[in-house]
Amino acid sequence: MTQPPTPCDSPEVFQFDFWLGEWDLSWPAVQTGGKPGERAIGTNRIERLFGQCVVEENFAAADGSLRGRSLSVFDPGSGLWRQTWVDNTGGYLLFSGGFDGENMELRTSEVERGDETIVNRMVFHDIGETSLQWDWQGSRNGGETWAERWTIAYTRRI
């Protein structure tokens, strides 16, 4: 008897495969509190877990200022990717999203901060075999416009 397909067999489950592997990272140091004109560096290891159903990220800034981990899964019921991020600063973020054209985009829900409502998003773009760009952006107008907060250049190590 043929086994029915599992949720982790759908083609969407493999949309994050571009991110799998070990990466060297660099970004303008000023974006994370460093000096203008200098570059900060780090690493990121992305792999599949639990029968290929979960994508795990392990991020580390070389100076030790930020270490974090995310777990991402495709939710077939909503048709969206879901990601949970935690880090050594006590950060905890929830994202959802998917491909928008050639870019992978994941957003947080709106967060109230004082008199403002803020939405954050990460965008993976310029995705190639050995490199990609990742942008962290924020919006104070419900996503009509976005401000760059952190841009990371990824270079594949393995």
pLDDT in tens, 40-80: 999 999 999 998 899 999 999 999 999 999 999 999 999 99
Task: Give 69-115 pLDDT, tens digit per residue.
Answer: 999 999 999 999 999 999 999 999 999 999 989 999 999 988 877 88
**Nearest residue to 32 (alpha-carbon basis) of 59, 55, 57:** 59
Residue 152: CB atoms within 10 A of its CB come to 23
- CA 157/CA 25 separation, integer angstroms: 10
**Residue 2 maps to a domain:** no
Domain count, the chain: 1
Domain that holds residue 139: 7-156
Band (23; pLDDT cuts 50, 70, 90): very high
Strand, helix or coil for residue 19:
helix
Residue 120, domain CATH: 2.40.128.20
Token couple for 11: 């083609």
Q: What pLDDT is attached to residue 112?
A: 79
